[in-house]
A and B are shown apart, each in its own frame.
Chain A
Amino acid sequence: MDNAEASFYLSQFIGKNLRIHTSDNRIFGGQMKCTDKDRNIILGLTYEYRSPPEAVIRQSIEASGNPSAPVSWNSRYVGLVVVPGTHVRKIEFEESAFGKGGVVL
């Protein structure tokens, strides 16, 4: 991918909802605002999701006796944030009900 192609590819995601998984097992879901060569990403209107601690999972499985018992994730609104590139593990693109929103993957 040359520079122009890459720029085109990345700029399609501006304003789209992304989910970024970070190295400390949190997920940030928000609108992509911009990025740079170090993969730092700015998200707007972001929510932070955190997987419940193991103890809680174990407890709810024991309590219900069902190995696939649902455990709710903690979430909170954090607004506009920068996710440092070194900690980004995985980026997911959220497709809306109306398709891919014109993004060419």
Chain B
Amino acid sequence: MDPKMDGGFLQPGETLEDNYDTLKALLPEEVLGIMDQLLCHEMAWHTGNPLSQTLFTSVYIDKILWPEPKTLEQAQFYRGEVSDSRRPDLLLEVLRAYCLALIKCCDFVIAKVTSRDYFEEEDFCTHTYNRVLFVQVPIDVFLRELDVAVESLQDPDLSISADLCEAIITRLEFRKHFLTALDLDCPLEHLDRYWPPISSHLSSINSTYHLGKPVPGSFSTKIQRRLASTVPPRPIVELDFKDAFSKLQQLCLDCEEGTRFTHLSPDPLEYQSFLWAFASRTPTPLPYARSYLANILFHPNTLNTSTTLPLTDLQCLIFTCSPVLDPQNWALSPPLNPLLPKPLRHQLALIIDEFIERTGQNYLELWTALGQNRSRLRRMLNHVILGWDQLQVDANTLDEEIMAVVKEMQVQEQVLVYPLTTWVYHKKLWMIEKIVMLGFEQDIYLPDEFAGMYGFLERVARRRVDLLSNIYAHYEEQEKQYLRAKPPKLEMAAEVEGAARYIESLLAEATGVCELSGALFRFYTVLLYLRLLPTPNRPFSTPELRYELRMKPFLTLSPPEVPPFEEHHEQLHGFGPYDNPEPSLLLALQNPISELWKGIEDGIKRAKDSFSQLKKLGPKAAKVEGVDKAWGKEVQGALASCIALGVAVVGIKTAVKECDENGKVAVKVEIPEMGSGKRYAEGWVVGKVVKE
């Protein structure tokens, strides 16, 4: 028998039971120490470790939970009868109250995480090994236990030093507020009240940590043998108090940030930017904080609005003040005689209803993906775009019908050509851009692939720019029409103008992305020619296969976004092969006003202008009012990346002028690493030129 394979195997002389006595009286500093140890284990669990290696290694927790107590009175550090002399003293009762509340906290956390999309054992381990964490016991019972514990400590006759007593009370109070905040039935409108009181206790927990005295003996790996698991006992996960505390702080901050969601104006685009900003937070939010936000997002009160969320989105982007979404359309009913044609407006309402119903699932998928961690978000988006691609086909069919109806109604000029397709296509392109940007952010691509990927990003963003320009022109025209009408329809004109601001903001952003990625693409191509980027030896692959691999998520899309390999290859090799470039390359490089350099510099300038315009239009136009700070930082990062690229270009230019006759330059390019804080924006990787 092998102890590595067999959880129940005992070494000779080893006993199954731990001989730690849970009824032994503890010193106050020991109680404090155990509380902090438990907190460390709780946070270790929050970061993804199983309960069996964290909280369930505590002998105290084990005694409370096993054998399973039928009532809360049975949930003691002993079972059955004990003599009066052995009865737990006051401090043990305090510890028991803390443990009970802690267990209930775990129960709430599991319930919340499992209620939304999560990945077992990847994000979080919800397994309780057949232990029941007081699922049936209501929260007020635990709050009462904590209150009693606090009261008993406030007894003036107590012979415990004041700081220790205070420190224990702080922990009990913290646990009380934490438990209340984790409660599943908190009303949505008051969510933001629950987190600030917790934060107020955190600093004093940190400052009194040194008073405690850990009791390592009260944790044991042996308990795992009695859990319903075939896995042999694994070591206890030790998380430092410092790390655990920062995790706890982060958890509270993220949840508090999440509660701000309830104050957003009910606009799906605001929601979307909020979700995006939340997922971009560093350090990345813990699984619980993500489920917390997802629970608010998918709460019936959030989703049940008078107009469905996809419809609001559609209206904002395409159909502001459009006859297609006129509320009157929905007031009409079909004729009693089924042979008569339906009224035109009614037909429009039916088409839109059908479309909105069809989008629901895709919309939900997108939001679910946005609620995941960054790495999974990138992978999930790859799947989500396939759904949207299918949706685009369906939208196309419905668009034909809409166009036919509006033609008959003679309001053609008031409706954008192919409206639904435009909307779906725009969303899809936005997602593709994000996938590529996330790839850069997560260092998926190697430096010698940067040029190709930024080239692809430019291509996609260019399409989005074209699409948005169409919508913008349409809105401009609409606005003029309303102003020209007699009498002028000022209200409608104003509304269209508001929508046009949003399009303008999107347009500025898309142009910025397009121009900056274009400039980066050209810049990195130059670096490839100058042999300044590390190119790994790849004996088992060809450029063609690698290209296919990178483009795999987008290959099936229609209209096709991925250029054929030959075109891609040609784009990257404007001056022939890298090891044997055409002589014109050196001339172009050494001439500071050549087409090559001008292309890059003009691109940077246009990108800078667009991002500045985006900044000037402000968070309201971009519909990011809920997360204006994070958004401002993102735009600022993009602007800084433009400037950094400008500097790098100058560096290369000077170096090329001073190069030797073989075209060897005396500089090297440093690629800033991911997450090191050296990138101005994680998605914009700008190499830094340093003298050798």
Residue contact A76 to B10, C-beta cutoff 8 Å? no
Residue contact B228 to A50, C-beta cutoff 8 Å? no
Among the stretches B1-9, B381-389, B481-489, B565-573, the one at the interface with A is B1-9
Known: A50-B16, A53-B17. A87 touches B1 (CB 8 A): yes
Chain A residues in 8 Å Cβ range of B17? 53
- Please, how many angstroms separate the alpha-carbon atoms of A78 and B129 in the complex? 11
Shortest Cβ gap from B233 to chain A (Å): 13
- Chain A interface residue number, banded: 10 to 19
Q: Check A58 for interface membership: any CB of B closer than 8 A.
A: no
Instruction: Tell me if B410 is interfacial: C-beta within 8 Å of chain A.
Output: no
The reply to whether A76 and B226 form a contact with Cβ atoms under 8 Å apart is: yes
CB of B525 to closest CB in A, whole Å: 57
Flag whether A24 is at the interface (Cβ < 8 A).
yes
Size range of the interface on B?
Answer: 10 to 19
Q: Which residue of B lies closest to A55 (CB)?
A: B15
Question: A24-B9, A26-B8, A48-B8 are known contacts. Are A74 and B230 too (CB-CB below 8 A)?
Answer: no
Instruction: Report the Cα distance A53→B130, complex, angstroms.
Output: 24
Whether A78 contacts B8 in the complex (CB less than 8 A), given A84-B1, A87-B1, comes out as yes
Query: Any chain B CB within 8 A of the CB of A81?
Result: yes
A47-86 interface code vs B (CB 8 A; 1 in, 0 out): 0101001000000000000000000001011111100100
Cβ–Cβ contact B16 & A76, under 8 A: no
Q: Which residues of A contact B635 (CB under 8 A)?
A: none
Structural contact, A53 and B16, CB atoms closer than 8 A: yes
- A contact residues around B225 at 8 Å (CB): 76
Binary CB contact string for chain A from 19 to 60 against chain B (1 if under 8 A, 0 otherwise): 000111010000000000000000000001010010000000
> Are A24 and B130 in touch, CB under 8 angstroms?
no
Asked if B356 is at the interface (CB within 8 A of a chain A CB), the reply is: no
Q: A36–B9 Cα gap in the complex (Å)?
A: 23
Task: Name the CB-closest residue of B to A49.
Answer: B8
Q: Is the CB of A76 within 8 A of B9?
A: no
List, in ascending order, chain B residues with CB within 8 A of A48's CB. Answer: 8
**Closest residue of A by beta carbon distance from B67:** A72
Question: CA–CA, A83 to B226, complex, Å?
Answer: 19
* Interface check B227, CB cutoff 8 A: yes
Q: Report whether over half of chain A's contact residues are helix, strand or loop; otherwise say mixed.
A: strand
- Residues on B with beta carbons closer than 8 Å to the beta carbon of A50: 8, 16
Q: Is the CB of A24 within 8 A of B226?
A: no
Say whether B1 contacts A78, CB under 8 Å. Answer: no
Docked complex: B170-228 residues within 8 A CB-CB of A: 225-228
Min Cβ gap B19→A in Å is: 10
Q: How many whole Å from A95's CB to the nearest CB in chain B? A: 26
**Cross-chain contact of A74 among B1, B9, B226 (Cβ < 8 A):** B226
Contact with A along B8-25 (1 / 0, CB 8 A): 111000011100000000
The CA of A76 and the CA of B130, in the complex, are separated in Å by 10
List chain A residues, Cβ under 8 A from B15. Answer: 53
Q: Could you say which residues of chain B place their CB within 8 Å of the CB of A78?
A: 7-8, 228-230
Are B1 and A79 in contact, with the CB atoms below 8 A? Answer: no
B644 smallest CB distance to A (angstroms): 56
- Structural contact, A79 and B230, CB atoms closer than 8 A: yes
Q: Which residues of A contact B230 (CB under 8 A)?
A: 78-81
With contacts A74-B226, A77-B130, A81-B230 taken as known, whether A24 is within 8 angstroms of B16 at the C-beta atoms is no
Residues of chain B lying within 8 A (CB to CB) of residue A81: 230
Q: How far is the CA of A5 from the CA of B489 in the complex (A)?
A: 97
Given known pairs A53-B15, A78-B8, the reply for A24 and B1 (CB within 8 Å) is yes
CA distance A22 to B16 in the complex (A): 16
Interface set, chain B 573-619, CB cutoff 8 A to A: none
Q: Give the distance to chain B from A101, nearest Cβ to Cβ, in Å.
A: 27
**Is the CB–CB distance between B228 and A76 below 8 Å?**
yes
In the assembly, what is the distance between CA of A54 and CA of B242, in Å? 44
Q: Considering only CB atoms, which chain B residue lies closest to A25 in the complex? A: B10
- In Å, the complex CA distance between A79 and B15 comes to 23
Task: Kindly provide the distance from the CB of B61 to the nearest chain A CB, expressed in whole angstroms.
Answer: 17
The docked-state distance in angstroms from the alpha carbon of A46 to that of B8 is: 13
Contacts of B226 in A (CB 8 A): 74, 76
- The residue on A at minimum CB distance from B8 is A48
A6 to B48, CA, bound (A): 50
Of chain B, the residue at the smallest CB distance from A86 is B1
Task: Choose among B7, B8, B10, B230 the residue with the greatest number of A CB atoms under 10 Å from its CB.
Answer: B8
* Contact (Cβ within 8 A) A24 B10: yes
CB-nearest residue of chain A relative to B6?
A: A81
Q: How far is the CA of A80 from the CA of B1 in the complex (A)?
A: 16
Contacts of A77 in B (CB 8 A): 130, 228
Chain B residues with Cβ below 8 Å from A23 are: 1
Q: CA–CA, A81 to B230, complex, Å?
A: 8
Complex Cα spacing A99 to B10, Å: 36
A84–B17 Cα distance when bound, in Å, is 25
Bound Cα distance A23, B225 (Å): 18
Give the CA-CA distance A50 to B15 in the complex, in Å. Answer: 11
Residue picked from B16, B228, B230, most chain A C-beta under 10 Å: B230
**Residue in B1, B7, B228 with the greatest tally of chain A CB atoms within 10 Å:** B1
Tell me the complex Cα distance, A12–B281, Å: 61
Least distance between B1 CB and chain A CB atoms (Å): 6
Would you list which residues of chain B between 10 and 60 have a CB under 8 Å from chain A?
Answer: 10, 15-17
| Contact between A76 and B227, CB atoms less than 8 A apart | yes
* Distance, CA A87 to CA B8, complexed state (A): 14
Of A23, A53, A76, most buried by chain B (CB within 10 Å of CB) is: A76
Please, what's the 1-or-0 string for B438-463, where 1 marks a CB less than 8 Å from any CB in chain A? 00000000000000000000000000
A22 to B8 CA separation, bound complex (whole angstroms): 12
In B215-252, which residues have CB < 8 Å from any A CB? 225-230
Q: How far is the CB of A22 from chain B (nearest CB, A)?
A: 8
The answer for the CA separation of A74 and B16 in the assembled complex, in Å, is: 10
What is the minimal beta-carbon distance from A75 to any residue of chain B, in angstroms?
Answer: 9
CB distance from B480 to the nearest CB of A (A): 73
In angstroms, how far is the closest chain A Cβ from the Cβ of B598? 69
B16 to chain A, nearest CB (A): 7
Q: Which residues does chain B contribute within 8 Å of A53, judged by CB atoms? A: 15-17
Contacts of B10 in A (CB 8 A): 24
Residue of A nearest to B10 (CB): A24
Residue of B nearest to A77 (CB): B228
The 10 sampled A-B contact pairs (Cβ below 8 Å) are A22-B1, A24-B1, A24-B9, A48-B8, A50-B8, A74-B226, A77-B228, A79-B230, A80-B230, A87-B1
Q: A48-B8, A78-B229 are in contact. List 10 more A-B contacts (CB 8 A).
A: A24-B9, A24-B10, A50-B16, A53-B16, A76-B8, A76-B227, A78-B7, A79-B230, A80-B230, A87-B1
Closest 4 CB pairs of A and B: A77-B228, A78-B230, A48-B8, A79-B230
Residues of A within 8 A of B (CB): 22-24, 26, 48, 50, 53, 74, 76-81, 84, 87
